[in-house]
Structure 1
């Protein structure tokens, strides 16, 4: 529910004071990577998305199509370019026998100079007999090259298996996947093994990483599937999807030290709750089956996932075609762990206003009042969508990410986040002219539309709109880095 205006208590005031003092005592933190903005959804009716950035300068995109009958591939030099890139069918299901139904969750990887697509498929005569398979191509451009079927990935059990993915750590390549293990009453658990002599063969012991047992993993079905690995800050983070594929679908995460043995189940720690889930405020439901890529400048990690923009589904969710591919930036906490935030609203992805002179601190809202704070939680409190200004062309307004329809505005020189009431006064208070940063290159400053010469700035831990006095302090306080 939206924040409610309550009078600050003595405890609240003390917390605010401590936060300001604490910010002064904290070691200087480098700014995070610059803003990357995309427009969602990236692709309609494309589920289980996988985006791979190759050294040839292209992003390669594949995903499940609603008909479950083929594997498609696109490429573009930018992530956003994938939304309009021509799509090529690189393989179609068999008309009989193996690989004849339920063509699911393709992933494309470049391994030892060749392209590989991992995917799941059922039999034409037994559509739920789903197993994992691999295609190979030696072409420079996998959209135009021929593909060879390398067959099924053999695992210890001949049971329901899907969502194969691969990663390398400490020079060793591993396969991770989801499978139904005999004797365990779940739809699927997560497993890992070393890759063998080629990218479609595993070798050595298979380790069960996790079994869905928690409430958020077992809504509708007991599911752990769609593993994806990102490596940062001396750790391995393995995200996975849990529960039924409706609005209950969500992401959990396993974490291991990069120096630990990934084949040892005790190396991994499971998140207590989902790390990414449906959000009614932003109108996003059932986010899951993710992959990771990087921004065009190589400085930001990008979460790639699917969801729907409605909650209620008639019939089996697997028959609903409207899962869309979406992307948004991954942020990293001070402790080195990823913060995925919430599925952001459709449209242009939001940014954060990071203080130029207090690195690591962001403008955020809390009980309506705007303030400056480090290590903001929840993340979405510090994310704003830059939209065309409510007062008209040539201006910008900052719309709250987790409370759409609420805007950063000033009244009595104090900055607040409040719902637009449609008045001329509100539109002016919530509109700014974007200027080159008063502190210099790489920064931006936001000048009030209805009070020219007045800028958004922070002071004493809170955010204000005040007149530029020309001092170095003001210039620093009124300059922000967008990330």
Structure 2
């Protein structure tokens, strides 16, 4: 039995999904549902609209450019969201952090300033939290260098146990070096598997068919990282520009959740492809409108 992509056909860019008590919650860039668009599902395929997880923004930013949210589950009553928004003072994209007691929010950011700014490097976007097998929390992000014509780097820093503060040094992992990446790399997502660390990332321009997902194998959460080379998820006859992925394990199978755009669907909608492994190499189904694999409730 299969399912049909996109699993959510409306505009839902930069999706991330968390599982809480056998329910899946999806978050995405601002759109018709609000600053942080939010959905709910029990099977990853049929999604109900919830609304806006971040209805009130902190004083350093304004509605309209709230992007790429990702949530870390700390406890049944504590959820920490990292998101990108335009800093009104500098005009650049920066990273904020907000906390809620339920998965759907409302998340509240009480900070007077962004968590990460990097104004001399074009700003900061695409924050992604990661909890390693030792219980250490990390935050990955990208400096928005392509906004000012400089290199884009994937950065990482350790997080405080509450997830609200960067602690220790920041580390540069990878930048754009391969032809398919164009002028940028972005949207990092780290996965630990069998003692090794897999960094997924997107490259090229998000609104072009060349946008794709790459992979790098890392020795530790802070690198060093070696890229695999060619992208592992690219445009297909069914959809273009797949990217900004995350990895979700459901019912003992791994799934890529990502956005892509296709005929008849407005903007970047949410797609699902199965991820399998050959030793340390990830293998991802291409964007398929009719997907032969059926994810089941976790």
Normalising by the smaller structure, the TM-score range is 0.7 to 0.9
Give the aligned partner of residue 154 of structure 1: 116
Q: Distance in 2 between the 1:232 and 1:251 partners?
A: 19
Any conservation in 1 of the 2:30–2:64 contact (CA below 8 Å)? no
Q: Distance in 1 between the 2:37 and 2:25 partners?
A: 10
Give the aligned partner of residue 293 of structure 1: 248
Give the aligned partner of residue 478 of structure 1: none
Evaluate the alpha carbon distance shift between residue 191 and residue 91 of structure 1 in structure 2; reply closer, same or farther with a 3 A threshold.
same
TM-score (norm: length of structure 1)? 0.54
TM-score (norm: length of structure 2)? 0.85
Q: How does 1:207-286 map to 2 (within 5 A)?
A: 207-218=171-182, 222-245=183-206, 246-256=208-218, 260-263=219-222, 265=223, 267-279=224-236, 282-286=237-241
Give the aligned partner of residue 281 of structure 2: 337
Q: Distance in 1 between the 2:173 and 2:28 partners?
A: 25
Deviation at 1:200, TM superposition (A): 2.3
Any conservation in 2 of the 1:96–1:123 contact (CA below 8 Å)? no
Q: Distance in 1 between the 2:277 and 2:67 partners?
A: 31
Structure 2 residue 35 is matched with structure 1 residue 70: yes
Any conservation in 1 of the 2:197–2:220 contact (CA below 8 Å)? no
Q: How does 1:384-403 map to 2 (within 5 A)?
A: none
Any conservation in 2 of the 1:101–1:124 contact (CA below 8 Å)? no
Q: Distance in 1 between the 2:117 and 2:268 partners?
A: 30
Q: Distance in 1 between the 2:203 and 2:65 partners?
A: 19
Q: Deviations over 1:18-70 (max 9, x none)?
A: xxxxxxxxxxxxxxxxxx8432111121111111112x111111112446961
Cα RMSD, aligned residues only: 2.7
Structure 2 residue 90 is matched with structure 1 residue 121: no
Give the aligned partner of residue 381 of structure 1: none
Q: Which has the higher helix share?
A: 1
Deviation at 1:181, TM superposition (A): 6.0
Q: Distance in 2 between the 1:284 and 1:147 partners?
A: 33
Any conservation in 1 of the 2:96–2:116 contact (CA below 8 Å)? no
Q: Deviations over 1:283-303 (max 9, x none)?
A: 3110000111122xx210010
Give the aligned partner of residue 101 of structure 2: 138
Deviation at 1:123, TM superposition (A): 3.6
Q: Deviations over 1:353-390 (max 9, x none)?
A: xxxxxxxxxxxxxxxxxxxxxxxxxxxxxxxx9xxxxx
Any conservation in 2 of the 1:68–1:101 contact (CA below 8 Å)? no
Q: 5+ unaligned residues in a row in structure 1: which ranges?
A: 1-35, 311-319, 352-384, 386-483
Give the aligned partner of residue 5 of structure 2: 40
Any conservation in 2 of the 1:155–1:202 contact (CA below 8 Å)? no
Evaluate the alpha carbon distance shift between residue 123 and residue 198 of structure 1 in structure 2; reply closer, same or farther with a 3 A threshold.
same
Any conservation in 1 of the 2:137–2:161 contact (CA below 8 Å)? no
Structure 2 residue 179 is matched with structure 1 residue 179: no
